[in-house]
Amino acid sequence: MSNKSEKLMSLLAGQPVIPVLRIADVKQAAPLARALARGGLPAIEITLRTPDALEAIRRVAGEVEEAIVGSGTILDPAQFDAAAQAGSRFIVSPGLTKELLKVSSDSDVPFLPGAITPGEVMAARQAGLSFLKFFPAEQAGGAAFLKALASPIADVKFCPTGGVSAANASGYLGLPNVICVGGSWVAPDDLVENGEWDRIEELARKAAGLRKPA
């Protein structure tokens, strides 16, 4: 396993669910991160799907010491660099391109790119990446597909994201090649918009209890 993959796994170790967040109002970022951390989910992914996303990452990185903030939906090197400069501790992409591979290899920030097919997984493995995002998980075949990959490509581990919920997360976490899952159910839009941080903390606590089987 590469040093960067090991670094990324150590950042996310012991956290079964990585909250995938879409921040519509930058003022929500810090209190949301604090609520999730109190509930046992300090590592979060803020997606670059809103105009305030980079500023949200900056605020969490600068104001919420207990949080481990990463950025998601990174599509090109310019976004990678911007996310890293904003304070991202890890960077997530839906897929892997030669350009993203190069910029990530030149950066100290660990990279979690997406892969679906065996060919994509093998290409990432050959490039030295042994911890990948499996996206979109449910639409691509779900836990059954990942289980089928576990034997032929046993040294690659995954974080499935996309359609993962409280109802099906345990099915993924029970697989030998799954480290954690990504999901948005721990921070529903309505609770975030209304500032219901106590309820989000409780959802995080329940998600943090979804431990992998011993």
Of the candidates 133, 157, 193, 196, the residue annotated as catalytic is 133
- The DSSP element (H or E) to which 73 belongs, if any, is none
Distance CA 7, CA 18 (A): 16
Report which of 6, 135, 1 is spatially closest to residue 74, judged by C-alpha positions. Answer: 135
| Catalytic residue status for 206 | no
Of the candidates 4, 45, 157, 201, the residue annotated as catalytic is 45
How far are the Cα atoms of 11, 65, 134, 144, 198 from residue 141, in angstroms, in the given order?
A: 27, 37, 10, 6, 34
Report which of 24, 65, 61, 10 is spatially closest to residue 187, judged by C-alpha positions. Answer: 24
The structure tokens listed for 160 are 């499935």
| Catalytic residue status for 133 | yes
Distance CA 16, CA 23 (A): 22
Four-CA torsion 29, 33, 197, 52, nearest 10 degrees: 10
Return the active site residues.
Answer: 45, 133
